[in-house]
Amino acid sequence: MRALLTWANRQPAVGTYVRMPEAPRRVGIGLTVLTVAGDVVSEVASFDGGLLPGFGLPAEL
């Protein structure tokens, strides 16, 4: 698994990638957006990997 940092609505977000057995590259499987309140994460929202390009991340690595 590999993760790349990005931003969504001024909140930190992470694109998640995994290597599929049949594929030579890592495939984007999700986008996780973190809501930070002070110095703690107060919410976590997860979305489908199809949104990654809309947040400046590649669909595959």
- Residue-wise pLDDT tens for the chain (61 aa)? 999 999 999 999 999 999 988 878 999 999 999 999 999 999 999 999 999 999 999 999 9
Please tell me the predicted confidence (pLDDT) of residue 24: 84
Please tell me the predicted confidence (pLDDT) of residue 37: 93
In whole angstroms, give the CA distance from residue 25 to residue 32.
Answer: 21
DSSP-derived secondary structure letter, 60:
B
Please tell me the predicted confidence (pLDDT) of residue 33: 97
Q: Report the amino acid identity of residue 59.
A: A
In whole angstroms, give the CA distance from residue 13 to residue 32.
Answer: 5
Domain map (residue ranges) of the chain: 2-55
